[in-house]
Amino acid sequence: MIHTIPNASIVLFGATGDLAHRKLFPALYQLYQKGHMKENFSVVGVSRKEYTHEEFQAEVASAINEHAPNADIDIVKKFSSHFYYLKMDVTSKPSYHELEELLNVLDRDYQTNGNRLYYLAMAPSFFGIIPTFLKSEGITNTEGWQRIVIEKPFGHDLPSATKLNEEIQQSFNEDDIYRIDHYLGKEMVQNIQVIRFGNAIFESIWNNKYIDSVQITSSETLGVEDRAAYYEKSGALLDMVQNHMLQMVMMVAMEPPGELKPEHIRDEKVKVLRSLRFFNEEEVKRNVIRAQYSAGKMNGEQVPGYLQEENVAPESQTETFVAAKLFIDNFRWTGVPFYIRTGKRMAVKSTEIVIQFKQGPMALYHAKTEKYQPNLLRIHVQPDEGVSLTLNAKPKGDTSDLLPIDMTYNNKTTAEMNSPEAYEKLLHDCLLGNSTYFTRWDEVALSWDFIDRITKAWADGTGSPVTHYPSGSMGPVEADELLNRDGHSWWEPTKVREEC
Ligand SMILES: NC(=O)C1=CN([C@@H]2O[C@H](COP(=O)(O)OP(=O)(O)OC[C@H]3O[C@@H](n4cnc5c(N)ncnc54)[C@H](OP(=O)(O)O)[C@@H]3O)[C@@H](O)[C@H]2O)C=CC1
Ligand SMILES: O=C1O[C@H](COP(=O)(O)O)[C@@H](O)[C@H](O)[C@H]1O
């Protein structure tokens, strides 16, 4: 539900960066333009570059014009007049006093009641120090609420994430810490719980009696671009699996919450991670595939392999693709494999969840024709948004054959009616104090515990080796074999038909 955001000051650390320009300014603008933010808010941009307030406002306006669809020039002007700039090195304790002075003026001018949201759009190395100084220099000491948004990655393993968390919790309560996973802001990821718990026909068959397997694919066409410095240390496992892929697994596998309240939903998600089978070395080798893109063709154009990309080590073993078979050892899911795969430079940009249902008890049709398809429920997360259900029917006039048909719901009908961007929804939620779609510490800790065992097996040389896949393909043959040995194959991403 959309509510009007209360009066507040937003402090945006990292205001000259890529995330602020491409995602955060446009997301805030959309909230304003739709009337969810009224006039009583200010945004203080913080970075080390020199800007006057006016230069910064012009920069914000230009970013919105470039990245927000259908931006209105007059509204953009009015919106950007709420922005202020402070040149500040976040590692310098005394500079926080200037921030406090500015915020005190803005709190008064905009009647914010001291409500403040601190958004850390900065490199992770700053995630600990900023909350520490915000607290020690008394900035968080106001009458209003104080919330902090932490970008990803939250640590690089369980020990580093624990240390970071302890540091942040010295200054902010868990309830006021909003760890962002932007996949949780995606329309169709949020829709999973409605499709499941809002439709008795699905929830009653959402278990190992009726579901054969689950597949989650998140493929990208982009390569590493200019992010090799970060990506070389992360790879697809830390960049996508630890957070986004596991979040989608949790949304598909969780039990119904007692109520639609943040803690009820987050409790159920955590229980999924508690039932996730944590792999030993042998299981990592058997169930987790890693690979790197080699040169290939994308849209008819030759593109380089990962090792030829700028700032990538000549013999880098960083994986740009991961496929895995996961097991959730609980009453609902025992025996149902969850196959996940994600990678860069793949054939299509797509995120899709496919629920494959079991065949009926008697082979009246499926043994007789190759055209028989298992029933599939596809949740199209992006770029198309929607749901489709594959059924078997009979072709017109022919009683002896089968025709798979799709019943499709398309969530995104026209360019003018795009769903809100993930960051828009998440900013809206944290300004309202709704943490449902942010990751709680116990989720983060368990997900690192699961991931660390894979990282360790790979580092010890006991996991499967890094193989290669040509750019423009859907991954290495080993990822196909992972499913083939169970008699399965990957369902390739499909489009939601426009006419439906
Ligand atoms: N970009 C994206 O699409 C995504 C980014 N993220 C995460 O968001 C965060 C930010 O990423 P991104 O915007 O790409 O990073 P950038 O490198 O583009 O921006 C970093 C920002 O930090 C500022 N900065 C650096 N050092 C200091 C300092 N000592 N004091 C004050 N400001 C400083 C920089 O400005 P200046 O140099 O002027 O000080 C700049 O504004 C990261 O954690 C990233 O992992 C997550 C998902 C997607
Ligand atoms: O967090 C990240 O996500 C993006 C993919 O996000 P999407 O919304 O475009 O699917 C990925 O490219 C990036 O490497 C990763 O850091």
Residue 402's pLDDT is: 80
Residues with CB under 6 A from ligand 1: 14-20, 47-49, 88-91, 121-124, 151-152
Nearest CA to 9 out of 94, 82, 95, 93 is that of: 82
The alpha helices in 204-361, defined as continuous H runs, are: 228-236, 246-253, 262-275, 281-287
Predicted local distance difference test score (pLDDT) of residue 415: 44
344 is in an annotated binding site: yes
Best mutation site among 244, 319, 380 for ligand 2, i.e. most ligand atoms within 8 A of its Cβ?
Answer: 244
Centre of ligand 2 to C-alpha 233, Å, is 16
Q: 316 φ, ψ to 5°?
A: -55, 135
Q: Which of 430, 484, 461, 385 is nearest to 120 (CA)?
A: 430
Q: Which ligand 2 atom lies nearest to the CA of residue 186?
A: 8
pLDDT average per 10 residues of sequence, the chain (500 residues): 86 96 96 94 98 98 93 96 98 97 97 97 96 97 96 96 97 97 96 94 94 98 94 97 98 96 96 98 97 96 97 97 98 98 97 94 66 90 93 81 87 58 95 97 98 97 95 98 97 72
- Domain positions in the chain are 8-151, 184-416+462-485
Looking at ligand 2, which residue's alpha carbon is closest to its atom 14?
A: 239
175 is in an annotated binding site: no
Ligand nearest to the CA of 238: 2
Choose one of 18, 126, 227, 421 to mutate for the ligand 1 pocket test, by most ligand atoms within 8 angstroms of C-beta: 18
Q: Which residues neighbour 182 within 8 Å (Cβ) at sequence distance 6 or greater?
A: 244, 422, 423, 426
- The token duo for 280 is 């030993």
Q: Quick check: is 244 catalytic? A: yes
pLDDT for 286: 97
| CATH number for region 184-416+462-485 | 3.30.360.10
320 within 8 A of 236, measured Cβ to Cβ: yes
What pLDDT score was predicted for residue 394?
Answer: 84
| 281 assigned ligand-binding residue | no
Decide if 8-151 and 184-416+462-485 have a common fold.
Answer: no
89 is in an annotated binding site: yes
Which pLDDT does position 419 carry in this prediction?
67
| Structure token digits, residue 381 | 């997360």
Using CA atoms, how far residue 410 sits from 320, 360, 380, 420, in Å, is 31, 28, 9, 15
One-character DSSP codes across 151-174: -S---SSHHHHHHHHHHHHTTS-G
Of 3.40.50.720, 3.40.1530.20, 1.10.486.10, 3.40.50.620, which CATH number belongs to 8-151?
3.40.50.720
Q: How many other C-beta atoms can be found within 10 angstroms of the C-beta atom of residue 465?
A: 12
Ligand 1 centroid to residue 284 C-alpha, Å: 34
